[in-house]
Structure 1
């Protein structure tokens, strides 16, 4: 017998079940609810072709522009943390590009698949994403693995050249009276051309980030400048594309030829996937513009050779709250770290040993006698063993610190708290090595000392991490008013 205000707590009904009950049938939290809002028949790609509701050849320029723009919007929505099934693969053309006869649409579909595949590989390799950042599941879809990257860029280049010929043939000539229809065709061809070229450039940039040569940096920077120039043309021609119809999904999903938001509903997991709202076309251009700027910034890291400068670069880049793709490119770029986070071969830019960078950082910060060629300890085998052992133990914590700055701001705070333990252990070791080197130095050069050299350097980084941890609480608005007294005390 329950009294008024009492609740019965069953042992099988925990927090997970309670949250599921809240999410269930809420249109904003339960993606399954979208299926109850429409009355139309949901067709897959093959069924839509048989039914004649989708064109696979002779697509008009407005249709191509509309489909391409909506695909870009889906791509960005995926990069913002939604699933491929609810975003990119709502475009039926992406399901099987082999069925497409229109060369422009086929090349574009393959290009989008390749961009998704390389982006997914980069993000997975960098391993600086959480479940709220990125979803890498492909739901069994083919990512155009049967076609090489070179072949896809070649197909896009062929379409680009074909569209460029059409743009030139419809261009106004001096002294001629301009036909409005020809002018419209010219603008529409230019719109398709700029989108196909942008896709090729974006794909080529991602391919460049897989190369091991340092020349890939200059190539990526040059391509990013091209991509930025194309964005203004894309923005000015958004109105040329076929617009999505509004239906009962409140315009959150595009309803137009080639797109079916419910086609993958049965592929979604039994838990409640987030409701995906596809971004608007104007927002898409703005997002790409910021992404290009971030990738340009990522390329600048190769100009840095000092460990302290590299750490500062990662901190400053992280403060901008960049997207998961740009964070991952900075972390896992082969021309920056030969392998992810130097774990395997401990080399920066594929050439500099991480141990050497730590020694250079020590020299520039505190210039310990043991690292000075003029000091008697420089060629002492026991002293070298001490310092080499210490520097080797520094590699892992500093690589971890660099990796932490690749995570989103909220997750960084948790991880900074954990890495402080590693740096505390390093602090103890630094003080022991300092004491050992000091006693050795006193025996040979009584007037010199080696106290607190390594320890001061590690303490500096310890304090930096502590300050960062404390300030992140303000940024994330974690502190209550009464806690300010403890913080400022």
Structure 2
């Protein structure tokens, strides 16, 4: 850069619009010579935000152009690569075609994991001109990739459970919908598949040809399955064919897994194929910091498809869901397995619209607490009040199922917002109960309010437990999280299920009067039949076990804190009340259950610890022992938690006897994401 002729001149002396440059290298070097390595100079006009937002030119870590343009090979377009003989269009060798297919599938998986199309799939130069290849298998594969991208994009848009970190929908000017229908595309893949199958039947066929046949068959099956799953108006038993197709997909995926090393460029020491140009779409990217894109390994991409196929089998079985409560349990269990975006979006389309219909909600509430207003022989005004509540409950119910399709971090944020909807629903439920009781001429009973309160409490429990999965809580915070679960959430849940059982018993025994509109206004006599079993008894027992676990952790962690065996913040920086109110701020707007105050927690902690640490450890051990007994009756499903309770019980008995560890304990969440094993070995204990 040329220095200014008159450096003392002001900017106003130069013509408007003329760029004036000054060499500042020497001035900058002189200014920073007194700074030590790692020191920063702060200015009012250039603070930390501006420093982090600045781009250091020519630095590979900051300048995207430098990062993408490194290497000996220059960026070549499709036409230039064909002219240079780098992209064969006909008579491709089997290992080359196999490498192109596997490399493209790896980039497809990278796109599904949140990277952009421009930096993943469309770095394949063949996809820039899908009709150009003269090799039939390659041309059909390129067109099938376009169709597959379009079908996946449509499925994800309909499900609406992706976030910006999950999926980037931008197409960067590429037309994803070629003028070929889905059925025609499947037919073209089947034709290539049959042609390859004839070669495979020849015993002299190369192993690479068999591998290409398996991949073309998988693409065809995958396209058929996704095209069926993305339909919102699923007919009964319409997914039976998908089960058969997914079984076939599992077989060919095993062949793909065994032959992944045959393709060109599959090994780590091999150079990538010339058809994959990572910087070809660099000019299409927005003028922001590009996300670093690391293409998934080919073997890992096939493993991703295997996991996706197994989860799609579960999705197909969800079509028979008719109950809202069944849908909640299935969606929650499916979300716990950390499914990929495609599979959890497919589950939303298959089961969400079925489980949240008016009939499904009506049946769910009837099975939960049997409101008399939902029976067929009631007055019109009672039916109208019940229908109004069902209409208002549809949106929170839909949101409750939809949020399980989001990633685990987003679910916690959405649960906080959903609690506000449940707060409004509780008020609507109380009004509906009063209106139904008035229309029926019977004493008011909290049928709808009990159902709304139950799902509110479940949402609160999920919100708190999600913090353990996301590792949001420090060790010194966990004891008041478990206290809240022990004293408030699980206690209220058990009470709510007990009330629901009582309401069901009343409905079965006919102890509530009939509507006043019946003939003669007579009241039915209560049935003297034997008391039926409690429908919610099993759930109540499991909740009692969770309550005992939470109580055990509360008292065990309180004792460890008193013994200074857990790291606690320095007294000058400790504001426990602020942290407590922050953790439970999402519950403050709920009328039921009322939000617990910090003073209530301190009173409970002081009462529990008034007898000393040994007594705390002894009481915590009793909680774990009781939880283990309750969980043992649950069978193999609750076996991991039962082992956790037993292990913690043994440890706390040792601590109660006076043993103390030489090092601070650790918490292992391998058995459960929410209830850890307190880890100490026998050699780490000493007796005082």
CA contact (8 A) 2:90 2:135 kept: yes
- Give TM-score scaled by structure 1 length: 0.85
1:258 aligns with 2:252: no
Q: Distance in 1 between matches of 2:404 and 2:218?
A: 30
Alignment map for 1:89-488 (pairs within 5 Å)? 89-169=122-202, 171=203, 182=204, 185-211=205-231, 212=233, 213-243=235-265, 255-333=272-350, 336=351, 342=353, 348=354, 354-373=357-376, 378-441=377-440, 443=441, 445=442, 449-488=443-482
Change (3 A) 1:478 1:386: same
> Could you tell me which residue of structure 2 aligns to residue 179 of structure 1?
none
Q: C-alpha offsets along residues 135-184 of structure 1, whole Å, 9 cap, x if unaligned?
A: 11111112242222222211211111111111112x1xxxxxxxxxx4xx
Q: Distance in 2 between matches of 1:124 and 1:109?
A: 23
More deviation, 263-272/98-107: 263-272
CA contact (8 A) 1:23 1:272 kept: no
Q: Distance in 2 between matches of 1:198 and 1:63?
A: 19
SS in 2 for 1:481: coil
Q: Distance in 1 between matches of 2:418 and 2:281?
A: 41
Q: Distance in 2 between matches of 1:310 and 1:40?
A: 53
SS in 1 for 2:131: helix
SS in 1 for 2:238: helix
Q: Distance in 2 between matches of 1:281 and 1:421?
A: 45
CA contact (8 A) 1:369 1:450 kept: no
What's the offset of the Cα at 1:14? 7.2
Higher-Rg member (1/2): 2
Change (3 A) 1:31 1:232: farther
Q: Distance in 1 between matches of 2:387 and 2:358?
A: 8
Instruction: Return 5+ residue gaps in structure 1 as ranges.
Output: 172-181, 343-347
Change (3 A) 1:140 1:245: farther
Q: Distance in 2 between matches of 1:191 and 1:95?
A: 25
SS in 1 for 2:476: helix
- Give TM-score scaled by structure 2 length: 0.61
More deviation, 478-487/294-303: 478-487
CA contact (8 A) 2:89 2:132 kept: yes
CA contact (8 A) 1:423 1:458 kept: yes
Q: Distance in 2 between matches of 1:124 and 1:26?
A: 38
Q: C-alpha offsets along residues 415-450 of structure 1, whole Å, 9 cap, x if unaligned?
A: 000010000110011112212333444x4x5xxx34
More deviation, 21-30/80-89: 21-30
> Could you tell me which residue of structure 2 aligns to residue 175 of structure 1?
none
Higher RCO, Cα 8 Å, sep 6+ = 1
> Could you tell me which residue of structure 1 aligns to residue 68 of structure 2?
35
CA contact (8 A) 1:114 1:144 kept: yes
What's the offset of the Cα at 1:379? 2.8
Change (3 A) 1:25 1:360: farther
Number of residue equivalences: 447
Q: Distance in 1 between matches of 2:381 and 2:309?
A: 51
Change (3 A) 1:246 1:187: closer
CA contact (8 A) 1:167 1:189 kept: yes
Q: C-alpha offsets along residues 4-47 of structure 1, whole Å, 9 cap, x if unaligned?
A: 988535467674x4543489877567654432422322111122
SS in 2 for 1:53: coil
Q: Distance in 2 between matches of 1:307 and 1:14?
A: 51
Q: Distance in 2 between matches of 1:110 and 1:426?
A: 49
Q: C-alpha offsets along residues 272-300 of structure 1, whole Å, 9 cap, x if unaligned?
A: 12111111121122111101011111111
What's the offset of the Cα at 1:119? 0.6
> Could you tell me which residue of structure 2 aligns to residue 76 of structure 1?
109
Q: Distance in 2 between matches of 1:404 and 1:36?
A: 41
Q: C-alpha offsets along residues 82-136 of structure 1, whole Å, 9 cap, x if unaligned?
A: 0111111111111111111100000111111111111111112211111111111
Q: Distance in 2 between matches of 1:298 and 1:465?
A: 23
Q: Distance in 2 between matches of 1:23 and 1:480?
A: 37
Change (3 A) 1:328 1:355: same
Q: Distance in 2 between matches of 1:218 and 1:24?
A: 57
What's the offset of the Cα at 1:210? 3.6
Change (3 A) 1:313 1:243: same
Q: Distance in 2 between matches of 1:388 and 1:29?
A: 59
CA contact (8 A) 2:115 2:168 kept: yes
SS in 2 for 1:327: helix
Q: Distance in 2 between matches of 1:128 and 1:467?
A: 22
Instruction: Return 5+ residue gaps in structure 2 as ranges.
Output: 1-30, 484-688
What's the offset of the Cα at 1:332? 2.8
CA contact (8 A) 1:29 1:273 kept: no
